[in-house]
Amino acid sequence: MNDTGLNARPAPWLGVIADDVTGATDLAGYVARSGSTTIQFFGVPNARTAIPADVDCVIVALKSRSTPPEEAVADSLAAHDWLASIGVERIYVKYCSTFDSTDRGNIGPVLDALAERTGEREVIVCPSAPENGRTVYQGKLFVWGQTLDESPLREHPVNPMRDADLRRLLVAQSRESVGLVPWQVVAGGGTAVAEALATEASAGRRHVVVDALDDADLDSIAEVALTHRLATGSAGLAAAMARKVGLARSGPAPFVVPSGDAVVLSGSCSAATRRQVELFRAQNPSFELDPIRLAEGSQFVDDAVSFVEASPAGSAPLVYSTADPEQVAHAQDVLGVQRAASIVEDALGEVASRLRASGRRHFVIAGGETSGAVVHALGVDSIVIGPEIAPGVPLTVSAGDHPVALVLKSGNFGGERFFTEALGRLRDLTPTPAPMGGTPS
C-alpha cells in the first residue's frame, strides 16, 4: 500500500480486529469522535452480512485476549479474511493499552499470523494512549508515570502484568525479532519514523515497538501507519489515524436511544471499578453476586433478577461481583481462575437476558469479559457507536429490531461517578414520551 487511498473511499478506510469487547468500543469511540461513521460486530460476521454504504470504520470484537493462542490466531485470521472480503485494505489490531497477555500470547502469535497474511514487513507496535495515562518510552510501558510492573494494573486478575519492557514481552511470544523506534526519533516526525522502521525491517526486526509520549507523537506515527497494510496498538494510535483521515462532517447525526429502564452490571475487579461501585451502591439499590455461593448453588440468578424487578420505579439497580484483590484470590483458590471468572460472567449474562425479556432496555456494563458475556447473552450481533461518556467509553445502540442501549466500560476507565454520569446521558438521549393525544417533543 503506497498511499493512503482515502479520496474515493470505495470501502471502509479501516478494519479493526480487537481482542476484547470493551477494547473495541474504546477504539470505536475515539474513531467516531473524529467523524468516522463506525459499526462494531461481536465475533466474525458471516459471509452474507452486509454493512451500510456510509460506514468508514468496521470493527470486529473478539474474545481472544485470554483464549488459547491457537484459537486467538484462528479467530483473528477469520476476522481479517472477512474484512478483506468487504474491501478493507488497512487492518488495525487493537489490544489493551496495558498489553494484557501471557508469556504464550496472545499478542505475539496474532501479530505473527497477520503479518504473514497481509505481507506487512514493518509491524508497528504502539500501545500508547496518553489521554488515559499510557505512554511508551525506551520500549517500556508507563501508566500515569509509573512503569506497568509498578502500577496497580500489574494485578490484573486474569492477565497480571509483571514486566514493563514491551520488547521482552513480545520476544517471549513471537517467532519474529523485535525492534524499537525510540522517542528521540519519533520527535523528528513521520519521515524519521518511516526511515527508522525501514532500518529495523532491513535488520530482520519485523515487529517494532514505537515510543509515544503524547498525541503529537501519535500523529507522527499515524502518518506512517496509514501507508501500511497492518498496524497495531491501543485506541490511541487508531484515534490519531482517524484524525489524519479527518472525515469531519457538518455535524454529528442525531443519536437516540430506545426508551426503557436501566440496570448496571459490574464484573470488573479493577481499582477504578471498585471505587465506582463503592460510590454508586451507597446511593442506589445493589445486589452482590458471590462466585463461591453461585458455585455452591446457595445463590441463584433468580434472586438477582427478583431484586432488580422489585426495586423502586425509575431506579437503576446495580448487580455486581466486583471485589477486592483478597476476595478475588480466595475465589480463585477455591474455584480456579477460569471458573471463578466464568461463573460470574454467565450469571451476569443470564441476569441481563432475563431483564431484557421483562422490559429493560438500558444496560451499563463494567468489565471487558463481563461485557462480552452480556452482549452474547442478549443476542446482540453489532452496535452503532454514539457520543462518548468518558474517554474510550461511548454510548452505543444495538443494530436491528428491538434495540437496546449499551454502555460497555473497560474496568480501568471512567471517573469515580461514571455510573451516574452514564445513566444521566442515557436519560438525556431518550425520547420524551408524548402526552396523550400529543406529539413527541
Query: Does residue 5 have a pLDDT over 60?
Result: no
The residues that bridge with 179 in the sheet, in sequence order, are 208
Task: Show the cell assigned to 64.
Answer: 481472544
Q: Given this model, what pLDDT does residue 163 score?
A: 86
CB-side exposure of 205: number of CA atoms within 13 Å? 18
> Which is it for strands 362-366 and 405-409: parallel, antiparallel or unpaired?
parallel
Query: Does residue 132 have a pLDDT over 90?
Result: no
Query: Does residue 247 have a pLDDT over 90?
Result: no
- What are the counts of helices (DSSP H) followed by strands (DSSP E) for the chain? 15, 18
- For the chain, the average pLDDT equals 91
Give the integer Cα–Cα distance in Å for 226 and 361: 38
CATH superfamily of 262-428: Four-carbon acid sugar kinase, nucleotide binding domain (3.40.980.20)
CB-side exposure of 379: number of CA atoms within 13 Å? 8
Q: What is the pLDDT of residues 268-279, one digit of tens each?
A: 999 999 999 999
Q: What is the pLDDT of residues 152-172, one digit of tens each?
A: 777 666 666 778 999 999 999
The mean pLDDT of 44-70, rounded to a whole number, is 91
| Per-domain residue ranges of the chain | 14-245, 262-428
Amino acid sitting at position 256? V
Query: Does residue 305 have a pLDDT over 80?
Result: yes
Specify the DSSP element, H or E, that contains 142: strand 140-143
For the chain, give the percent of residues with pLDDT over 90. 77
Q: What is the pLDDT of residues 400-431, one digit of tens each?
A: 889 999 999 999 899 999 999 999 999 999 88
Residues 327, 329, 331, 336, Cα dihedral to 10° = 170
Only one residue has cell 460470574, namely: 344
**CATH class of segment(s) 14-245:** alpha beta
Task: Show the cell assigned to 97.
Answer: 493499552
DSSP state, residue 429: T
The mean pLDDT of 343-350, rounded to a whole number, is 96
For the chain, give the percent of residues with pLDDT over 70. 92
Query: Does residue 386 have a pLDDT over 50?
Result: yes
Contacts of 186 (CB under 8 A, 6+ apart): 192, 193, 210, 211, 212, 217, 220, 221
